[in-house]
Amino acid sequence: MSNIHPRAVKAFGEEWSKFHHAERENTDLKALFEAYFSIFPWHKLPPDAEGFDLGCGTGRWAHFVAPKIGSLHCIDASAEALDIARRNLQMHSNCSFYCASVDAMPLLDGSADFGYSLGVLHHVPDTQQGIRECARKLKPGAPLLLYLYYAFDNRPAWFRFIWLLSDLLRRMISILPFALRSPLCDFIAALVYWPLARVSKLLEKAGVDVGHFPLSSYRSRSFYSMRTDALDRFGTRIEKRFTRKQISSMMEAAGLERIAFGDSPWWCAVGYRRPESDG
């Protein structure tokens, strides 16, 4: 059985058709890219490194990665998303594109100098197996960068309670057709994301620590990003969350070692394929 959730794939195809990230000077994306890749060992990659972007979506991260390496395999289970990625990355001749799930990546085992999958594997039925499949494609010693939704294990109890309420809302919205789901998520972005983000910004200017304030991470981001993430958050039927310890354990079980996490409040981690690992 394929390690994908067909309705989730369809939902993301619809999402990326609406928020296609065709604007090249998107400062929000650049800032997020730098945050995600802050722990990535660029200096350890060989010249003309060959790697993969698993769940490339619109190619928003590949746009920043491609100029730094030799070749990049952009892989996504959504044909609609992949068409958008082709258009967005047409200026990068070193990108190739494959419509495939994580368990059917058209790459040889042990062939990649690096890989990354950001915000993807918490949307598949078997996250552990997905990490294992990614690790299997790496050469021994090659790095894999992962971002998975975190389980708020570093947040206070009241914060986790608010998330539980929001998750109930996600479960109701995500089953609606896109024609209803999309405007509802825009509504949430306008009436929840934007006000809380702006309050966070004002409080921060007043000298208040807003680290645990809901949606404070959006205080300097655009409304476009808020709309995108609201649809991303409330529009998918399958969403898993993991503690830092669980992520580390899954990566180790997949044959990765030297696991390191970034400094962000959410869990982004890099690990290296063990020399003796067969995935």
**pLDDT by residue (tens digit) across 226-274?**
999 999 999 999 999 999 999 999 999 999 999 999 987 688 999 999 9
pLDDT at 127 over 80: yes
Per-residue model confidence (pLDDT) at position 5? 86
Q: Determine the pLDDT at residue 82.
A: 96
176 has a pLDDT exceeding 70:
yes
Ranges 9-18, 111-120, 133-142: which has the least confidence = 9-18
Position 278 pLDDT exceeds 60: no
Statement: residue 24 has pLDDT above 60: no
Instruction: Report residue 198's pLDDT band, with 50, 70 and 90 as the boundaries.
Output: very high
pLDDT number for residue 212: 85
Q: State the DSSP H helix or E strand holding residue 97, giving kind and residue range, or none if neither.
A: strand 95-99
Supply the pLDDT for residue 25. Answer: 65
**b/e map of 101-133 (b: 16 or more CB within 10 Å)?**
bbbebebeeeebbbbbbbbbbbbbebbbbbbbb
Residues 6+ apart with CB under 8 A from 225: 28, 218
Confidence (pLDDT) at 142: 98
pLDDT greater than 80 at residue 35 = yes
Mean pLDDT within 212-223: 90
pLDDT of residue 279 exceeding 90, the answer is: no
Which residues fall within 8 angstroms of residue 224, CB to CB, at 6 or more apart? Answer: 19, 28
Asked if residues 11 and 174 have their Cβ atoms less than 8 Å apart, the reply is yes
> How far is CA 266 from its chain centroid?
11
Share of the chain above pLDDT 90, in %: 85
Query: Which of 16-30, 168-182, 224-238 shows the lowest per-residue confidence on average (mean pLDDT)?
Result: 16-30
Q: What is the pLDDT of residue 165?
A: 94
Q: What is the mean pLDDT of residues 3-15?
A: 90
Quick check: helix, strand or coil at residue 242? strand
pTM of the predicted structure, to 2 decimals: 0.93
User: Does 21 score more than 90 pLDDT?
Assistant: no
Average pLDDT value over all residues in the chain: 93
Q: Is 208 a residue whose pLDDT tops 60?
A: yes
**Per-residue pLDDT at 172:** 96
Q: Residue 163 is which amino acid? A: W
